Amino acid sequence: MGRDNGGVTPAFGVYVHIPFCSTRCDYCDFATWTDREHLIDDYVDACVRDVGRQILAPATSVFFGGGTPSLIPAQGLTRILDAIDRVAGAEVTVECNPDSIDLEKLRQYHEAGVNRVSFGVQSMRAHVLASLGRTHDPANVEHAVESARAAGFDRINLDVIYGTPGESVADWEATLDAALALEPEHVSAYALTVEAGTPLGKAVAAGERPAPDDDDQARKYELADDRFAAAGLGWYEISNWARPGGECRHNLLYWAQGDYAAVGCAAHGHTSGRRWWNVRTPDRYIAAIAAGESAESADEVLDAATREGEWLTLGIRTSGGIKLDALPVDSPGVAQTLDDLDQAGLLDSRAGRVVLTRRGRLLANEVTARLLLALEQPVAPAGTR
């Protein structure tokens, strides 16, 4: 249900985790299952009850992630959405697999208040998709986007992955060209990472498949950044590009350390420095909600130092960066570290904000580590310098 609040409600998000998949990708270490579809109806019921039990603030954004949210019947997903109190104009995103979506389902989403869809494209080259363990046909991506437009969507994201072993630069360029030809409002491009315990991770550990090459991934990132910029998509977070006004408001909430609720198994929530996460499996989640119990598995309260560290880690990843005057530049090492990073071409702080250059984006983890180390140094007492 939408609610007009005059535009003054603080940003508050709701993340809904849908853990069902038809197949599991070789690189995926998310909380997803391919053998629990018989639980879908009970899971939807549990999510609806959980929403009524815990959500207090009207949502400015709702994000259905997974898993494959588009795998469950549209009426199930929209039942959960209908239970969430949200402001008028709230952003509502649903992640979709091109193979599990059609025009009718997209129309039902749109009529229920979904106004943004995100398609898991990963690659537009069949052999790269096969290497990732993906099952969709690249041709279905074009069909899915066309159906979304026909259903009324004017905010579409495409997720792509670069650096898959066996993916040539020409393959990546073909993926970029095909994705941009669909004129998305938003693109998320991620370097392939190898997670222990996944089929890909096991194959790499056994020497059966090569690990992604850092130089190859850096070159492909730069190619993507150039292509996206030429198409009118500006970077606003290391892995995200959007047309003006097309940024994902739900993700911006995360990066600003905002508050958000968790619905569904393995979902994470955050309120004023307290972070919590739900039980991991759909079976346990359903049982907890049916028993009238909280589905929370554990939580942590972030102290001031941890929150400051996360503020820097998240903020430095965005195009807005962090305010220079928010850093203790009089602390030993901070000013020198900023100067060193600037001289190395990794940071730009000329406009009163500390912002990563493109080279800095490629080395963001190193930049962040060096800044955090400098911040850990105590400020010298007055009069000692």
- Exposed, middle or buried, 29 (CB in 10 Å: 0-12/13-18/19+)? middle
Residue 204 has a pLDDT of 83
* 259-263 and 12-18 strand pairing: parallel
Q: Which is nearest to 101 in space by CA: 168, 139, 147?
A: 147
Strands (DSSP E) contained in the chain are: 2-3, 12-18, 59-66, 86-96, 116-122, 156-162, 186-191, 234-237, 240-242, 259-263, 268-271, 274-278, 296-301, 322-323, 347-348, 353-356
| Total residues found in the chain within this entry | 385
Proportion of the chain in helix, strand, coil states, percent, rounded to 5: 40, 20, 35
Q: Supply angle C-alpha 184, 185, 187, rounded to 5.
A: 70
Residue 4 has a pLDDT of 37
347-348, strands of its sheet edge to edge = 322-323, 353-356, 347-348
Following CA atoms 142, 252, 375, 336 in sequence, which dihedral angle do they give, to the nearest 10 degrees? 60
Residue 379 has a pLDDT of 55
Q: What are the helix (H) ranges across 133-279? A: 138-151, 169-181, 199-205, 214-230, 249-255
Residue 128 has a pLDDT of 94
Residue reference for tokens 């998320």: 188
Please report the domains of the chain, with CATH numbers, ordered by start residue: 2-255 (3.20.20.70), 305-375 (1.10.10)
Residue 9 has a pLDDT of 60
Within 8 A by CB and 6+ apart from 235, the residues are 225, 228, 229, 241, 319, 361
What is the token pair recorded at 230? 């030429």
Beta bridge partners of 13: 61, 260
Mean pLDDT by 10 residues, the chain (385 residues): 47 97 78 88 98 89 95 97 96 95 97 98 94 85 97 98 95 98 98 87 87 96 98 98 98 96 97 96 98 96 94 96 90 89 94 95 97 79 39
* 12-18 and 2-3 strand pairing: unpaired
